[in-house]
Structure 1
Amino acid sequence: MIPVCEPTLTGKEKEYVGQCFDTNWISSAGEFIKKFEDGFSEYCGVRHGVACSNGSTALHLAVESLGIGKGDEVIMPDFTIISCAKSILQSGAKPVFIDVESDTWNIDPKKIREKINSNTKAIMVVHLFGHPCEMDEIMQIASEHNLKIIEDCAEAHGAEYKGKKVGSFGDVACFSFYSNKIITTGEGGMVITNSDEIAERLRLLRNLAFTEPRFVHHDFGYNYRLTNVQAAMGVAQLENIDNFVKARINNAKSYNEFFKNSDLVRTPICREGSKTVYWMYSVLLNQHDRDDVMNKLNEKGIQTRTLFYPMHMQPLLKEKGLVDENERFPVSEDLWKRGFYLPSSSSLTMEQIKFISETLLGVLNGNTN
């Protein structure tokens, strides 16, 4: 079976993790944590990095670090993972959902303005599948209305918008280092920011809000720390991030070449001036039953995954009264119904891409032999 995504651990991961065991620094203190934070934030062109336990906790820390809470609203895309909405709700605020663009699948800036009111405090943008959002327009909207910007870059390590790394535009930006991400620590996350004040707040919140004297608390925090062992993996992965990004881009170019003459498959566009890193190579079927096609690919040894289930369709969010039943999100619904991921690992070979592409086209053209 060709997996939809697997980590590439061919660098110094074992060596650096071994150093943690040799020195007994295996918990949330140790030299690799600062190395990873400093190295990754520098890679993104941002002053501070605050490592944490995963991408979901990174989002929660980001929202809380901005002082967002009860009575506030945060605008976010309808088409994304539930962690985005959860992080807003955890902080006591209300997520407000926006449909996405039909060509990029990212949050539609034109629809953001329609949702801004006196309770709006921030916009959460998600650089979906490694495709940068339209940041100039979004930053202009934020400036006009004095709104904070939270970037969810969990799928976009190394992506760029007009020559600038994603994660360097907002007040805070969040990354995930889960095992299927472009670089991984197994589980892990990071929040980056250029603000000294926000960075201090992030470090406080991730460590149970410990201050001096110890165990005397003036605030609640969370146990969201990353371990030195995980950070050691991150340092090793970071040494190869350019190679991983290049591999994903080359894989996407190869897929595009196979599909360029077919009207049966569509993919999100990469806007001029943007560098897309293709965390997952995602396709949209024009006329076939998605589940049937995925089952046939699975029978051929090709693993696939459906795209995200839209927020406005989530039973839990409906139960909480967060969804207006009269509001329509046609693009998000369409992407869910017709889209899925193809295998996208950095280690994917040209032979595998050829097999996957030809098999998919064969299935779509009625040839299942």
Structure 2
Amino acid sequence: MEVKQEPIPLFEIDWDQSDISNAIESITRGSYWAKGPFVSEFESRLEKVLDVKNALVVNSGTTALVAALKALGIGRGDEVIVPSFTFIATANAVRLVEAEPVFADIEPNTYGLDPNHVRTQITDDTAAILPVHCYGTSCQIDELCEIADEHDLSLVEDAAEALGAEFRGQKLGTFGDVAALSFCQNKIVATGEGGAVITDDDDLARRVRLYRSHGRTSENYFDSSTSGQYIDVGTNIRMGDLPAAIGCSQMDRLDDLITGRQQAASRLTESFREIQGLQPHTPMEEATHVYQLYTIELESRINRSNVIDTLAEHEIASKIYWDPAIHETSYYRKSKTKIPTLPVTEDISRRVLSLPMHPNLSPYEIARIVDAVTEAVH
């Protein structure tokens, strides 16, 4: 009788007793579940790791992007250049501040914005460039920063997938005016949901603080006998103390979380080296990869659906990030957004497939993944 194999999920959250201990400390304190001490500690740890002046935690990576755009004063009448090959939140954040996303094509190596195509999309209404560091490694951020400087544009980094990754020894998320991180459950550091705005600009940080707390000048609302002073329109996108408590314990082992992913990715990539028909996504020279996702690019002759089905038959999860690309989704097809020709985006989106990845992926699981993929592409 055939023995059923244990499923290999797309990701597993790395947790240990320190996560539980921090969570218990936050809960049993019996107070300060909203603006508690773990929130400030989490922000301080992010600032230290990234070597930035301001890390402001919020309740998701999406709201981090919205807050960053709001702080820059981007809104109605403005255009923001974004990739279409990314999670839809990147473009939606632009729409949520009533600006217009303008899609530019990606280049085929990093899957990030193509600087040459970005130049062609700049108009008098362009206010910012919003590149994405795809899958855990750098886009061509140096060239995009140069373009932003040349045209006096803001640059907002979507570094949701790239906490800890570097380009030329500098942490991603610290190149532009402001950046957004995500701590969703499948990210490098996981708090369930959560995000952060990163910036060295104290004035931008002040505006983010106002926006995330209803435009209130003080964040010590529960410690004050007054109702507070409100000087701007804002909303409530604060991170609570409990997810921040988990974030603190996760940050304690950030290096191990990244190293575990890199070691698993290295084994996968080495095993795939002799297999015809696919190419793993790898970093460009002078960049590191933290492998928030481990993605392969299949040759056009390979039927991706068959690969997915074969993996599923072997109890191995896989997922397409991203097809359809944003400009091909139902909402953006029917919206008034002008869609340029994006041949690289459309080609890549039809050929990528993400495989299981997490810091504790075992050699046995890696062998099963490689064997199943090999079976599927041959």
TM-score range, shorter chain: over 0.9
- Secondary structure of the 2:227 match is coil
C-alpha distance in 2 between matches for 1:234 and 1:294: 33
Shift in Å, 1:266: 1.4
Q: Which residue of 2 aligns with 1:210?
A: 216
Confirm or deny: 8 A CA contact 1:317 1:323 kept in the other structure.
no
Match for 1:185: what amino acid? T
Q: Normalization by structure 2: what TM-score?
A: 0.93
C-alpha deviation, 1:269, in angstroms: 3.1
Q: 2:19 aligns with which of 7, 13, 16?
A: 13
Partner letter of residue 106 of structure 2? V
**Structure 1 contact 16–232 (Cα < 8 Å) conserved:** yes
C-alpha separation in 2, matches of 1:238 and 1:139: 28
Contact 2:111–2:139 (CA<8 Å) still a contact in 1?
A: no
- Does residue 133 (structure 1) correspond to residue 133 (structure 2)? The answer is no
Cα distance in 2 for partners of 1:15, 1:26 equals: 17
State the shift of 1:215 in Å: 5.9
Measured in 1, the distance between the counterparts of 2:282 and 2:315 equals 28
Instruction: Please tell me whether the aligned partners of residues 2 and 343 of structure 1 are also in contact (alpha carbons under 8 angstroms).
Output: yes
CA distance in 1, matches of 2:133, 2:86: 10
- Return the letter of the residue paired with 1:19: E
Deviation, 1:36, is 0.1
Alignment of 1:149-188 (within 5 A): 149-188=155-194
Equivalent in the alignment of 2:269: 256
Q: Which residue of 2 aligns with 1:101?
A: 107
8 Å CA contact 2:110–2:140 kept in 1: the answer is no
Runs of 4+ with >6 A deviation: none
Superposed CA RMSD: 1.3
Deviations 1:165-188 (A, max 9, x none): 001111111011011001111111
Letter in 2 for 1:242: D
1:313 aligns with 2:319: no
What is the rounded CA distance, in whole Å, between the counterparts of 2:329 and 2:233 in structure 1? 30
Whether 1:363 aligns to 2:371 is no
Instruction: Indicate if the aligned counterparts of 2:210 and 2:232 stay in contact, CA closer than 8 A.
Output: no
**Residue aligning to 1:323:** 338
Which sections of structure 1, spanning at least 5 residues, go unmatched?
none
% identity of equivalent residues? 34
Q: What TM-score, normalized by structure 1, do the two folds share?
A: 0.95
Does the CA contact (< 8 Å) of 2:310 and 2:372 recur in 1? no
Q: What do residues 137-190 of structure 1 show as CA deviations (whole Å, max 9, x unaligned)?
A: 111111111111101111001000000000111111101101100111111110
1:73 to 60, 65, 79: 79
Segments of 5+ residues of structure 2 without an aligned counterpart are 1-6, 219-225
2:124 corresponding residue in structure 1: 118
Deviations 1:274-297 (A, max 9, x none): 011111110121122111210110
Q: Distance in 2 between matches of 1:27 and 1:145?
A: 44
Conserved? CA contact 2:11–2:357, under 8 Å: yes
Aligned-residue offset at 1:25: 3.3
1:253-272 superposed Cα distances (whole Å, 9 cap, x missing partner) = 11111111122111223111
Say which SS state the counterpart of residue 130 (structure 1) adopts.
coil
How much has 1:217 moved relative to structure 2? 3.9
Q: Determine if contact 1:11/1:236 at 8 Å carries over to the other structure.
A: no
Cα distance between partner residues in 2 of 1:290 and 1:12? 40
Spell out, residue by residue over 1:322-352, the C-alpha distance to the aligned partner (whole angstroms, 9 max, x if none). Answer: 133xx32122112221211100011111111
Counterpart position of 2:294:
281
1:60 is aligned, of 66, 91, 107, to 66
* Aligned equivalent of 2:309: 295
Q: 2:43 aligns with which of 26, 37, 54?
A: 37
Q: Secondary structure at the match of 1:345?
A: coil
Contact between 1:127 and 1:156, CA under 8 Å: does it hold in 2? yes
Question: Which one of the candidate residues 207, 222, 242 is aligned to 1:201?
Answer: 207
Residue 26 of structure 1, CA deviation: 5.2
Matches within 5 A, 1:233-248: 233-248=246-261
Q: Does 2:243 match 1:230?
A: yes
Residues in 2 aligned to 1:322 and 1:216: alpha-carbon distance in whole angstroms: 39
Segment drifting more, 209-218 vs 38-47: 209-218
